[in-house]
Structure 1
Amino acid sequence: MKETETARIRAATHRLIASRFPPVGVFDDLAQDKDDLAVAFLLESATNDRLGTLSGRLSLLPPDEVVQGPGATLVMGAFLHADPAGGRFTDHRLGAWYASLDVDTAIAETVFHSTRRLRMSEGAFPTSIQMRALAARIDCALIDLRGQKRARADLYAPDDYAASRAFGASLRWPKSGEGINGIAYDSVRRNDGVNVCVYKPSLVRLPVNQTDHYEYRWDAKGAVSVLKLSNVEQGHNR
């Protein structure tokens, strides 16, 4: 399989983000033109840490990639509030819609990364965080890296993103022409799980639905359990 072969991915995606329970939306009901909406996001960045790096990154998106409607804040936040170090297929310039094709894989991914961040802080355990699950559909052609863990081991390194980050950046920011839509790839954190990294906000179809809420609980030794927050809590050990 060529590394630039694409596949059309038509599916619901699942993404978990840290949240207080219940969540409160910010821009879901806005109805403005694109220029006004961009200004609204910039104003919001002045007082909202979650979108604090928005002004520098917003200019990297074409005007038609500033989405609006139910869940727009959640989509734009994924692109504009990103780890300065980047992710597996993203560099420091701009985030992406990182999501999984099933919620169990999304949980496994976020449990792993949350645990790793906590272990960097002395005295982090015991602790807990609450997460909310987001669901949004995509229907687009993505670079398909599924089934290539051995052939492209450099892109699937568990903890070293240098090769995969450079790979993604070269396709997202080509020297000429338009960048790709994104990448579909196997999860490193859960067998048989599939993730997507979508590079264009417009490809994440609105509305974004907020589904279940979870609480990740780490004991004093750093062992984690996942509880679903509802009338009856359901435990999932990871």
Structure 2
Amino acid sequence: MTGRTLESRDLENRTTDPASLPRVNFTEPDTCRLISTAYLNEPALQPLADSPDDLAILEELEMMTSPRHQSLVALPAGLSPDELIAENARYGWSYINAAFCYTHARGNRFNGPERGAWYATFGKSAVKTAQSEVAFHLSNELKNTNSLINTTRYRELLAGFSTDLHDLSKQHDQDYLAPDPARAYPAGQSLARNLFRAEANGVIYPSVRHKGGRCIAIFRPHLIQNIRPGQSWEFCWSGSLEPEIRPLEA
């Protein structure tokens, strides 16, 4: 192992030490998360049912194959069933569980494939920041399929928090806040694992996709409170990486 490699690993250890990061009280009633309305519409099995009783039976069968419903299907390796929100405990329970159960193969900025996290935005530009974050990621997915023609609708999920988080707002030179996911994600996931082991609740960080925007990544499902739906939006790609975003009537 070279001296350069040792130096790099020592730098990573220092920058991901929870004790080196400020911890602040975070109290926000209206954080914003955008999710596709495909997950908010009528149950996918409804067209197969002739009556409410039939639908109930089909939904019960569907729940047996859905990890967010605490089924027999294996959860991500780093997520315990005890952490999930009990079925019908409060509005939004399934959206919370889904955020932690379903993960990307390479993870995201502050979570690896072993467990998910709840990402949201807050502050005066919360909606615009959420739109910019969502647009960036879906634009990249569309680019990879060689088709920039797409229309997707999203709904705001508003949620409240009153907890303590580690504040990364002044850590601009760190790899985990880099625009390039290939550079940022490994560093951010390393930081998140160290913070999680230190019993941290999550992080506050500046948006990389919307200047001045502020984001949070929440590590623990029970911290997410008072979920309610907000405005719906339509994102339309017509051959460009930048979608047209317009509000939908309620």
Q: Verify same fold: TM over 0.5.
A: yes
- 2:11 aligns with none
- 1:235 aligns with none
The percent identity for this pair of structures is: 24
- 2:178 aligns with 157
1:32-76, CA deviations, whole angstroms, 9 ceiling, x for partnerless residues?
Answer: xxxxxxxx9996261689999963238723625434311101111
Whole-Å separation in 1 of the counterparts to 2:138 and 2:25: 31
Within the candidate set 206, 229, 239, 1:186 is matched to 206
Larger helix proportion of the pair = 2
Q: Which ranges in structure 1 are unaligned for 5 or more consecutive residues?
A: 27-39, 232-238
Whole-Å separation in 2 of the counterparts to 1:76 and 1:141: 21
1:80-123, CA deviations, whole angstroms, 9 ceiling, x for partnerless residues?
Answer: 1121211101011110111100111111110111111111112x
Number of residue pairs the alignment of both structures matches: 210
Within the candidate set 14, 25, 31, 1:13 is matched to 31
1:158: how far off? 0.7
Asked if 1:139 corresponds to 2:159, the answer is no
Whole-Å separation in 1 of the counterparts to 2:71 and 2:136: 25
Whole-Å separation in 2 of the counterparts to 1:22 and 1:215: 14
Whole-Å separation in 1 of the counterparts to 2:67 and 2:75: 15
Secondary structure of residue in 2 paired with 1:55 = coil
Q: Tell me if the contact between 1:89 and 1:168 (Cα under 8 Å) persists in the aligned partners.
A: yes
Q: Once superposed, what is the RMSD of the aligned Cα atoms?
A: 3.1
Q: Tell me if the contact between 1:131 and 1:213 (Cα under 8 Å) persists in the aligned partners.
A: yes
Within the candidate set 109, 112, 116, 1:95 is matched to 116
1:20: how far off? 3.6
Whole-Å separation in 2 of the counterparts to 1:50 and 1:17: 18
Q: What TM-score does the superposition give when structure 1 sets the normalisation length?
A: 0.78
Q: 1:50 to 1:100 in 2, by over 3 A?
A: farther
Whole-Å separation in 2 of the counterparts to 1:155 and 1:41: 41
Q: What TM-score does the superposition give when structure 2 sets the normalisation length?
A: 0.74
1:153-174, CA deviations, whole angstroms, 9 ceiling, x for partnerless residues?
Answer: x1211112111111111221x2
- 1:130 aligns with 153
Asked if 1:55 corresponds to 2:36, the answer is no
